[in-house]
């Protein structure tokens, strides 16, 4: 029996297809579940605390999602760079329910670790740096290598200056402190006193200023009583402020960006900036009669007061032996006033005060007298 050529070819093709489906290729290697090393490690030092932060790797070296996260080793060395972790300076456990948190969070998961520098380490390596890296491990304790490395200056910091205080004064808030003993200072560094301010209604602290503090020294009697101050003139009256300060140690490095380390904070001080301070007293008051042939009046002029919150002036007049009375029903906005309520043959004595936006009134100026003449 002869088989048609077309049917034979179709049968051979089917056999070939079945043969291909039954073939077994080389087995794929199982995933090692090695998290990719972080590349965003950051370090911030405050006093003797170094805080490290990084994003927990979401992917493995095979670009698969990390399912089983192990601990993270904190690596530190005084050498120029880390080649291996060696003995870890600490470790961070994976977040509880890591896989569930990873799937439910719309943001990348972050981790942090705070390393406390010993005083021995700071003293023995004051001119050196510590290099940090982290190594994220799988549950079997294996990692794919170190993260990026960050360096932190090990120079010892100064404790916050004592007697930190804030007081409302005429021009703003005066912040004061006392210098520490010079025995705690080091050569090759300079010091700044950094002041932070927080307005009660705002969300964040803000750096207010840096004050040069390298030459801040104890007094001739050896006691820590030389005070320094800074006047904050950028406040708004009738608001509540908080202040704190810290000594910043700046390592002098000619030709390089000088690393700086901020010491621990002073206690916070709170102050309500209540304005009970009057403006400056007006000066240079002069009184001039109108002269013959004109309606009788006396013109007053004076030197303007420069206070930023000045609202205006009050004018006072009296005759000899009589109490002074205010002439103006409303504040005078300019440093000049015309008194048209004068009587011929009388002599008048004038004084002027300045008034601010909150109603604080200055003392009266020196008097100026003028006769109304005989009309």
244: three-class secondary structure by DSSP: strand
121-140 b/e with 16+ CB inside 10 Å = b?
Answer: bbeebbebbbbbbbbbbbee
Concatenate the DSSP letters of all residues of 312-367 into one string: EEEEEEE-TTS--EE--SS-B-SSEEEE----TT-EEEEEEEEEETT--BPPPPPP
Instruction: For domain 283-371, give the CATH number.
Output: 2.60.40.10
- Beta bridge partners, 120, equal none
Q: How far apart are CA 187 and CA 363, in angstroms?
A: 52
Q: What is the pTM of this model?
A: 0.74
Phi and psi at residue 306, in whole multiples of 5°? Answer: -95, 5
Which residues, 6 or more positions from 335, have their beta carbon under 8 angstroms from its beta carbon? 282, 301, 302, 303, 304, 305, 313
Q: How far apart are CA 194 and CA 85, in angstroms?
A: 36
pLDDT by position in tens, the chain (length 375):
454 555 544 454 454 444 444 445 555 555 678 999 999 999 999 999 999 999 999 889 999 888 888 999 999 999 778 889 989 999 999 988 777 766 666 678 899 999 999 999 998 998 889 999 999 999 999 999 999 999 999 999 988 888 999 999 988 999 999 887 654 567 778 889 999 999 998 999 999 999 988 877 544 444 544 568 999 999 999 999 999 999 999 987 766 667 899 999 999 999 999 999 999 999 999 999 987 778 889 999 999 999 988 999 999 999 999 999 999 999 999 999 999 999 988 999 999 999 999 999 999 999 999 987 754
162-272 sits in which CATH class? mainly beta
100: three-class secondary structure by DSSP: helix
288 near 299, Cβ under 8 Å? yes
- The domain locations on the chain are 42-153, 162-272, 283-371
Residue 49 vs residues 153, 157, 184: alpha-carbon distances, Å: 12, 11, 19
Rounded to 10 degrees, the C-alpha dihedral 149/150/156/161 comes to: -150
Residues 42-153, CATH architecture: Sandwich (2.60)
Topology agreement, domain 42-153 and domain 162-272: yes
Phi-psi region of 173 (alpha: psi -120 to 50; beta: other; left: phi over 0): beta
């Amino acid at each position: 029996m002869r088989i048609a050529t077309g049917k034979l070819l179709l049968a051979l093709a089917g056999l070939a297809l079945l043969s291909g489906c039954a073939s077994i290729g080389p087995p794929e290697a199982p995933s090692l579940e090695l998290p990719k090393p972080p590349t965003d490690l950051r370090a911030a030092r405050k006093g003797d605390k170094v805080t490290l932060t990084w994003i927990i790797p979401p992917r493995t070296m095979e670009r698969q999602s990390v399912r089983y996260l192990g601990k993270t080793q904190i690596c530190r060395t005084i050498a120029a760079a880390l080649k291996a972790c060696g003995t870890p300076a600490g470790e961070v456990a994976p977040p509880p329910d890591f896989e569930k948190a990873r799937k439910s969070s719309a943001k990348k998961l972050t981790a942090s670790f705070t390393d406390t520098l010993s005083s021995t380490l700071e003293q023995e390596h004051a001119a050196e740096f510590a290099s940090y890296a982290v190594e994220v491990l799988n549950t079997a304790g294996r990692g794919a290598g170190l993260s990026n490395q960050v360096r932190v200056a090990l120079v010892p910091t100064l404790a916050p200056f004592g007697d930190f205080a804030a007081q409302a004064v005429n021009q703003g808030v005066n912040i004061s402190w006392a210098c520490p003993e010079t025995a705690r200072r080091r050569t090759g560094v300079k010091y700044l006193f950094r002041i932070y301010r927080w307005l009660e209604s705002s969300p964040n602290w803000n750096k207010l200023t840096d004050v040069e503090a390298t030459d801040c020294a104890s007094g001739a009697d050896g006691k820590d009583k030389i005070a320094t101050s800074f006047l904050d003139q950028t406040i708004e009256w009738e608001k509540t402020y908080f202040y704190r300060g810290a000594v910043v140690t700046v390592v002098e490095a000619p030709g390089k960006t000088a690393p700086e380390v901020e010491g621990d904070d002073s206690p916070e001080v709170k102050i309500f900036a209540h304005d009970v301070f009057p403006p400056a007293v007006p000066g240079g008051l002069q009184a001039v009669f109108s002269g013959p042939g004109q309606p009788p009046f006396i013109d007053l002029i004076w030197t303007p007061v420069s206070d930023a919150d000045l609202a205006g002036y009050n004018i006072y007049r009296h005759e000899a032996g009589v109490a002074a009375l205010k002439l103006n029903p409303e504040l005078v906005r300019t440093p000049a006033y015309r008194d048209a309520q004068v009587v011929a043959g009388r002599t008048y004595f004038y004084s002027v005060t300045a008034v601010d936006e909150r109603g604080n009134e200055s003392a009266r100026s020196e008097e100026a007298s003028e006769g109304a003449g005989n009309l």
